[in-house]
């Protein structure tokens, strides 16, 4: 089965806790939430009670943080909301859902990244064909584009004292490369 991007929703910008509007995630077998924030304590939850796993965390305390959390083989349907909660600081957050992602076992193949004070990660080479590659970025600045064949899900400019700048994108890689 081919991987397909189904839809997306923003959780918003601000501090403490953000909850999305209601969405219909029917048909999804993989959910992802990206949060760009300036904090150290962070959780993701949803109205369907799914278990959220950490896909990637690039953290240097006191700097912009990017985190991607995911739920595979989730409970989905109408009236689905997503929440990201911080123990302080401010954030920008988005959710996206896909179908056709491996569900027999945890689909996380690899991760790579860098905290705000280092150069970007060198990339990954999936071990099998037909992989979903997610990319998140958080910065104390503006995020306007991504390259390398990725499709932007969302971008948000930095607003001092309100939210981090950030971006969330995906690539459906049919052949491991």
Backbone angles phi, psi at 41, to 5 degrees: -110, 130
**Residue 117 clears pLDDT 50, i.e. is over it:** no
With pLDDT > 90 as the criterion, what percentage of the chain qualifies?
34
pLDDT per position as a tens digit, 124-151? 777 888 889 888 877 777 766 677 888 8
Q: How confident is the model at residue 82 (pLDDT cuts 50, 70, 90)?
A: very high
- pTM, to two decimals: 0.87
Arithmetic mean of pLDDT over the chain: 83
Give 30-63 pLDDT, tens digit per residue.
Answer: 999 998 877 667 789 999 999 999 876 665 555 6
Higher pLDDT, 160 or 169: 169
Summarize the confidence of residues 96-106 as an average pLDDT.
90
| Cβ-Cβ contacts under 8 Å for 123 (sequence gap 6 or more) | 112
pLDDT at 162 over 70: yes
Are 137 and 36 within 8 A, CB to CB?
A: yes
Cβ-in-10-Å burial (0-12, 13-18, 19+) of 84 comes to buried
């Amino acid at each position: 089965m081919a991987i397909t991007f189904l839809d997306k929703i923003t959780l918003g910008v601000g501090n403490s806790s953000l909850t999305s509007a209601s969405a219909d995630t029917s048909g999804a077998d993989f959910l992802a939430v990206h949060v760009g924030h300036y904090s150290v304590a962070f959780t993701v939850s949803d109205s369907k009670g799914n278990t959220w796993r950490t896909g990637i965390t690039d953290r240097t305390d006191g700097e912009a943080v990017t985190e991607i959390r995911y739920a595979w083989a989730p409970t989905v349907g109408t009236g689905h909301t997503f929440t990201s909660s911080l123990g302080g600081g401010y954030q920008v957050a988005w959710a996206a859902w896909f179908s056709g992602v491996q569900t027999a076992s945890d689909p996380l193949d690899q991760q790579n990244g860098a905290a705000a004070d280092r150069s970007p990660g060198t990339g990954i080479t999936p071990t099998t064909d037909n992989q979903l590659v997610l990319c998140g970025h958080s910065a104390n600045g503006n995020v306007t584009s991504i390259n390398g064949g990725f499709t932007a899900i969302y971008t948000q400019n930095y607003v001092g004292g309100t939210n981090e700048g950030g971006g969330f994108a995906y690539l459906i890689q049919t052949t491991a490369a």
